[in-house]
Amino acid sequence: MTDPADLTVTIVDGYVDEPAHFGVPPYISTYPRFTAGAVVDAGVPESNVVYHTIDELREDRQKWRDVADADLMIYIGGMTVPGKYVGGTPAEPDEVRELAWVAEGTALMGGPIRFGVGDENAGGQDMERKNLDYDFVAKGDIEAAAYDLVDSGLEGFGNRMRDNEELDRWAATGAFVVEQHPNHPDHLICEMETSRGCAYRCSFCTEPLYGNPAFRTADSVVKEVENLYDRGARHFRLGRQADILAFGGDGEAPNPDALRRLYGGIREVAPDLGTLHLDNVNPITIVGWPEKSREALRIIAEHNTAGDTAAFGLESADPLVQEENNLNVSADECFEAVKIVNEVAGWRPGDDPADAPTHGSDAANRLPKLLPGINLLHGLKGEREETFEHNKRFLQRVYDEGLMVRRINIRQVMAFDGTDMSDTGADIARDHKQLFKTYKKEVREEIDRPMLRRVAPAGTVLPNVHLEYHQDGRTFGRQLGTYPLLVGIPGERELGKTIDVAVVDHGYRSVTGVPYPLDFNEASMDELTAIPGIGRSTAGDIVVNRPYADAADVGVDADVTKYVQ
């Protein structure tokens, strides 16, 4: 039997994306951290555990030696919702298979990949279970499988789910892995699990495959945050749950006291955190328990950082699709939930919370504290041409009522074994592909852009935008957080840096910005002409007439005061 103290372990993060779990950089999911904690708990020295992302292995072939030489190579990955990514590229099936071929020791695969693998990481396709040439595939929790495999001397394990007592140990112990992430410490956001499983059974979703909601205690989550904070982490997202409002309760009703312990505890152990965001909120919770939900939302808005998003799984505003897919919220109910979040948490730092939702010329120049996000899913059972019109009418109603949503996520279904959609597959999505493309373009043009102007009007300041890539003579970056805005800045600036930006213009899902505060004595022509009301001729005059004592001396008709401190 192999002594755990002698084992070397390499964990490869191929990234995950689930309905309630982000893991593509700049996010790090819970899986590699919990798994590292599990093998250490089983007796492997922390110094014997190596962590690599799939992007690291692509960029440096020498790191494949860690894959080949490890006694145990653990691959973690799986996409159960489709997405587009800037910070990293999820592993493709061929890459996952190559890892197993290269590994000379035991190869273990797990994570949401156990639900199925497609030909590529995209929506509108059927997913199949495949072992991809691994010695072992964890059909239960990858962290439990890793613990049992190490404990057995690499002889095997039973597929099982870990319990909360184990999770309390493994979550805290595995925090050390974040130090090995290439984005650590400044551009890494830790996904935090508060619960998993769901009380509802929507046809397409893999979250119910984890069972009914199983909640961690506030103390357990806070302890994990404390350990991550001690390891240099400063950005956290409470994203691993079906409904944050139900935390600490029965899986359906809100529990404001539990949220107060959770958020207050995090703020106590991580006093200088940079980001505290969340993800999923079930709108049916808000309309079912409006007063408790209002109290819970007030607690969140008091402790979080601005620009936070509560993703609402409306999925479809079509009553027929709702019925055939067991969707639990109607369009009217979702609208009411959007309204309540706006009224409670749609204020901006510097505004009076009682004035929420705040937007317009009198609002503070920051993003709102917490806004809803709307998830729309296509290719579901019963979808028809009218479905697309139902969705557009719902979104237009939200806008016309003066409310705000932070983002609208429109995607096509991925059909997994074990869900009700497995019988239908991706046939409807494929049949409606062209209709979907036309509708999506209309939403972007007619709803997204005017909504973005309301949420982040010209002059809105976005602190700490991390510069990520160059394109067409511009530099693009994002803040850390839930669904951050993509920001384009004129000129090619040094990548990897972080700057404050003021919004000057709007795309469909992105904004153009200039450095904040803008120094008119140093600003480039491209930066000056990006400001509304300043053309190239005026920008040229500004450059020629430098220097200026302050912005008032610039002497232009355009309002430039919002772009200076």
The CATH number that applies at residue 33 is 3.40.50
Same domain, 334 and 445: yes
Q: How confident is the model at residue 238 (pLDDT cuts 50, 70, 90)?
A: very high
Q: What angle is formed at CA 537 by the lines to CA 531 and CA 543, rounded to 5 degrees?
A: 75
Instruction: Calculate the alpha carbon distances from 486 to 482, 507, 531, 564 in Å.
Output: 12, 10, 18, 22
Same domain, 437 and 521: no
Looking at 444-560, list the stretches that DSSP marks H as alpha helix, in order from N- to C-terminal side. Answer: 449-455, 525-530, 536-544
Among 395, 421, 456, which residue terminates a domain?
A: 456
Same domain, 173 and 236: no
Same domain, 435 and 534: no
Which pLDDT value is given to residue 144?
97
Same domain, 436 and 331: yes
Domain that holds residue 165: 1-187
Residue 518 lies in a domain: yes
Same domain, 169 and 215: no
Residue 282 lies in a domain: no
Q: Is the Cβ–Cβ distance between 495 and 470 less than 8 Å?
A: yes
CA 121 to chain centre: 17
Among 425, 456, 487, which residue terminates a domain?
A: 456
Q: Is the Cβ–Cβ distance between 118 and 145 less than 8 Å?
A: no
Helix (H) or strand (E) holding 56: helix 54-59
Looking at 103-214, list the stretches that DSSP marks H as alpha helix, in order from N- to C-terminal side. Answer: 142-151, 164-173
The per-residue pLDDT for range 278-331, each reduced to its tens digit, is: 999 999 999 999 999 999 999 999 999 999 999 998 999 999 998 888 888 999
| Overall size of the chain counted in residues | 565
Same domain, 112 and 157: yes
Of the ranges 151-160, 281-290, 556-565, which one carries the lowest mean pLDDT score?
Answer: 556-565
Same domain, 504 and 541: yes
Residue 199 lies in a domain: yes
pLDDT at residue 561 is higher than 90: no
Of the ranges 76-80, 104-108, 114-118, 403-407, which one carries the lowest mean pLDDT score?
Answer: 114-118
- pLDDT, mean of residues 501-514: 95
Same domain, 17 and 159: yes
Residue 248 lies in a domain: yes
Same domain, 326 and 444: yes
Residue 5 lies in a domain: yes
Among 224, 257, 275, which residue terminates a domain?
A: 275
Of the ranges 208-222, 292-306, 407-421, which one carries the lowest mean pLDDT score?
Answer: 407-421
Residue 560 lies in a domain: no
Same domain, 90 and 58: yes
Number of alpha helices (DSSP H) and beta strands (DSSP E) in the chain:
19, 22
Looking at residue 443, its amino acid is V
pLDDT at residue 120 is higher than 70: no
pLDDT at residue 189 is higher than 80: yes
Bridge partners for 156 per DSSP: none
Residue 296 lies in a domain: no
Same domain, 176 and 63: yes
Which pLDDT value is given to residue 32?
98
Q: How many domains, the chain?
A: 4
Q: Is the Cβ–Cβ distance between 463 and 507 less than 8 Å?
A: no
Instruction: Calculate the alpha carbon distances from 283 to 314, 346, 408 in Å.
Output: 8, 16, 15
- Residue of higher predicted confidence among 364 and 381: 364
CATH number at residue 500: 2.40.50.140
